[in-house]
Amino acid sequence: MKLPIIKQLVNFAEEHDEDYLQETADTLESVCEVSSLKDEELDMIGELISNLYGAIEVTHEIKNGTPKKEALNGFMSRVLGSIDK
């Protein structure tokens, strides 16, 4: 996951609609079912999906009253904390 990408996606969701992020993630998940995809392609799609779901989670936190910067930093702290364990 990349914080700059998640931040950009959060900004997009604020300007447009969070549903676009969910629909994009759903579409990419469907594309992953193509049997002819190479591992590298699946890895890239998986990274995009992870960033989309991260942005959706941060967007939910912002809607629940968490300031954007705090929501972004908190999310990345949780991600990095789960990696370290």
Contacts of 71 (CB under 8 A, 6+ apart): 58, 61, 62
pTM over 0.85: yes
> Taking 80 as the threshold, does the pLDDT of residue 83 lie above it?
no
Q: What's the rounded Cα separation, in Å, for the pair 57 and 38?
A: 29
Please report which residue ranges of the chain form alpha helices under DSSP H: 3-15, 18-31, 39-63, 68-84
Split at pLDDT 50, 70, 90, the class of 81 is confident
What pLDDT does 84 receive? 56
Average pLDDT over residues 41-58: 96
| pLDDT tops 90 at residue 65 | yes
3-state SS class at 74: helix
**What was the pLDDT predicted at 78?**
86
